[in-house]
Structure 1
């Protein structure tokens, strides 16, 4: 049968071949047949070759050449691939080829946008969207192109129509990547503006063509720094006493081209080696030496790949930190990793950044953090050799070994003084070898010895020999590379109290620890704990990386954890953890009470540990603590749930909801309440479940997850009803009303607010009732009935003033101003906005003061007083910058925009 088929194929493909002559296409090989590919020409092969060549051009930075190659194939195509070929295999191949063809077309159009050819790309994108209306990647390109053409209204309409189509046809919302582009469009993100136009080169041109010129280099036509772009400078401080590593520095220097221009392609350097060899020190030192070559800024993150608590940083968390550093607000960061990574690469495109990814666990943790376009430099440090980055991304590996004897001596020389080192050369050689020439070990010994100028170096060497042990992380090929003696020697030289604190610090799960938290771990007076922390930092066993904030090197944390396991019993460790969780729960509760003094409290059970929580005099203090402890608090909630402190888990999460919600940390709110809910379920505590579900519902509402938000809040309401908790029911109704307003269900919102008000009135909570009236007023503003909104505001304001609640009064004054603004009564709007600003300033709530100042700016501009409007914005910017709030860049951007004479309405909440 095979012979028959081959014969027929030869006749079909080679009809002119004479009988008896060998085939030039289907040739006999042994007892089979082979197809000579070099004799075949197909549009598929040409298409694949064009894609391959285009990708090569793009890698070397020749985007113009890549676009020209993709134009040589008809990526849009007039008909279906494999037309007329029957069978399921052909149908499957047809689908795959259609998708590849569309992908190639999208790739070319995206590169056209990179080159600034948005005007020419718009007609193609409009046609492509018409042909494939549900293809979100096409809509993303279209939004970007329309925005760059100054057609923002059309871009917004394109998004709105796509969203309607997705909801109507598929019952789904747009994906996170498309939502992120929409958010950037609304925020007028400078990074969305794109590059300067690069004119397309002719499709056909030769060197001898009259007037022909080579295509322009894309990088040469782009600005070195985008106007208005954020330029972070996140590198840690360089080590003043850095010594040695000359060969490694020369190797790293070879990664960059000669001159001051950016690298031609993204350069990735991977510094690997055993723990303690100074990988981070080397990376940071070299980064400081070359940072001037990257004018768009530097990014740094410790990925905590070997954190002994298992809390290594997820790529999504690292990208979120970078995106916020690059000017995005937390609430506009997409949720899914793919969308986060795509947005991150888009912001970095055609810019020149220096990126240090410290302490990576594996290549998978690093890949989402790599830029996708030329110009940036990435330095990765890891204990592992990341072969996946070398093979898959062309990374340049560099392994840091031990210091040479000469470099080790130079290190001791710099830290102890040349005279002392020269006086005992044999002891110096012994210390060097007993420390295995490990930089971290040598630094600890040198710090200890420098504080003991009367010690002979021979005595130091002998003590190292006497306490010779092993540290698993430093096991080498022979006993000379075992450095645990260094850690044990430093540890045993501590006072008993400092040694106890050293062990207890390892039980803390956060990325760093404050003096107050350290005090909670020990139960000792704070003055004594400060002295013990000074002793630990002086012995180089702890680093004070910010005033009052301490961090372990990961190896020292592992060593301290080993000691805690060996020297402290299970009951002692349990008592330490209980004190720690009591401290954070009660401090978070105090902060929440200061931020919402009239809010219904969640009663705490009596403390049995005597742990003294922090107390706050005003909102500024409470907000400052919450801001600096944000990541620690998330880790504390997770740690509590994982180690059996379930009641602490859900109660701490509930205490954080006011702050996390107000400042837009909704992903954090979602995470901690998910953990809290599981903890409350383990306890069988319906009230804990109700509060956790309420927090989850609020987070889902803010993130526009309408269905899960509704489900969580409805279940929370049922649980509050079963528990007979009217305040909890009112809280759930208010959250359901807020969700109804976000989903354009105004009657449902008013109904929920009415039920919440009735519950609070029955309990005599006049202040809570006043808060509901303010929220009802806001609903009437959304409906467009501003007269009813004014009535609700006046009634609520009277209650707030009766209860002497300046916060509620300030919030209601803001709503009054908003209603008057929409009625065109700008003078009255300004009067109420100014009262609100004064009250928030008196309270000390800097964020809400800044928020109302922005409303005041809008009202003043509506009257034509542009200078007063800008002054209000400048005041808001100063407050937001003081807080380090991500909205500061949004206000700064508004100040950079030219004034117009058109009246504006204030932004909604």
Structure 2
């Protein structure tokens, strides 16, 4: 299916075209959604950014769900395949040149990258022609109006001034005077525009008029801002007074050009380069920080070369050696002395004291347009004395430190450099090895084994480039290293990863260094503050400063507030430092205690079936070890944040012999995974835990794990495996005399039989479960079994019997707070009413079920019910409602992002595009655990 081609114009009133046809969008928030997605065409926009753009205040009750609804409506407008869901948000798949804002910015970048004045002018003129008014003129968004629009307006004005300056050099000053009068009238305090007007008047022979205009702007600046004109205006004024003719060609002079050579095969980093452009446009100081080996210097030097023409008075560079293993950091006084020499200040004029030299350095740069690159700064204290005092200069500082002091004291705009995207990392390798015929699978594995770290990629690629046929051998070498650093060892300390990482580690305080070592033993991709405190055996207040220190040193990143992570090679370095001694083992045990105690507390808040028997925590996992979870919403958020880490924690517990932690973590985590339809993850953690509990002299854990595995395999259509595990669970529960376990297992067997078309056997199992729950006298279990029997009758075409049994279940549930079971029962009733032709009653049941499921955030269960609701709408003759509901189901599946739902997504998509396609198997709501 081909995606729609869209064109989106935002530099003025919004214009939207899909495959050439105009699309009218009248809803304010939908217009804002389009605008924000378009600004990042081809890149993910997080849900948080979309919420910020659509609602400046008065957030809806469930912002995520509201965003999902608006995205669904937008997909309806624009057609399928254009908006994709990612792990953190949404991506608009549109050609960047089809978005006028992005084309405007790309044209400015082309102008910046050209040394040909005519080429520069052509790009600038084409960019300016895209403007039709104020950006986002009819889009209601406080974020766009307050942040993006001013940024674009500033770039537009700067581009207009650059184009006029080029026209001045091309010799048409008189033609430019009317345009400059309009520009200065619209922006009466903008000095660059006034300077251009004075120069145009001067070059047109209208010196007296130019002097009068200078007095006009000087008076206005003094009255409204209390300041005198800046250096550029004063220089034009001085020339006017001296009656000297303007220089039509630049004076030949020697200026410092100290930038190191640009990297010839620089790849990607478009986002970071754009951020540097923005930083340079809004502040005289910008910083680039990031972890060791991420490419800070490479980026800074490349960007500095690309903008060097903006700084005709030269570029200064110094390597401050803030993290050099062999030499001490450069003293700021020595750096200033080197700059004064580069600026050709006579030695006899340089003061002897450091303060005098710093003052002279600032004085020499006053009024000049220079770029100063301070590379590898240790901290803000080392860089601060080297900042020019002139706003016409730009200082760019790189460091492994975050340089918060420069942001606070000098208003520096920070750019944090992260790992490059996989596509850019792959291109870097291919350019370095010089073989574009390399098998993509092998290159992708190389990129993954290097953790996308540019220094590691460069080292690996250099070794391959020596012997191009060695690519597969080098990948095998890295694979054999199992994530270690031996494969990146080198004689040169500047490229040996252990050495490079150590320069950051050696600067840590003792407690922060200890925490970094312990992080190497922590499972999962990241760690929260409370978990880090448990790992270190500290309280949260004590661990926060240590996490901040590690973040400032870029040994950890903070991808989300309160969550900390590191790329695989840094984690391997931390693990090497920590080893597997008593300290790291004790830390892991504390961390597993924390995860288990918190997971059980969170799952307790999510279980609507209060009759579920909860396992007994091991003695070390006391309630005090748990993070405080305020309620169900907080529990869902905690599981969402910790899900990948908890999956890894089960494996870590099994690998390190903590069998009780392994199976109980799997037990607690399964409820969250169940509601998200993540059957593969359920199978994975329960399989891992099942191997671990073989050492326990207790049949309860394997019984639970076999049942969970059987349920998961049933929904993965691995029916033989499902039956084998469920029969084993049934045997273990029977040996224990556990009637509840037997009844629940029988219900799961009923599901497996149904999914294989053995409906009579399914009914037999459900009736057996019902009989056990009657004997036990457990209301929730009884209601669930009644509903299961009702569904089994429905599969046999006995819909009145379905209404009878499911109706009994609903009566019992009205006295319980079990919304999941109530939703499942309403789903069954809705299906029976549909089959009996009572479509309105079916729709009512399904919508009531959906209301309950949305309260519980049970997205997978929602899809199951939405699918049936769409069929009922269609049967009732409302094709539009059916298509709308199916799109909601597809959007929910996109948000789930779970493998194994491809068949369901394909069926829903087919029914949207071809409503006459036959419906798929309806399926019962998954039985509660």
When normalised by structure 1's length, the TM-score is: 0.49
When normalised by structure 2's length, the TM-score is: 0.48
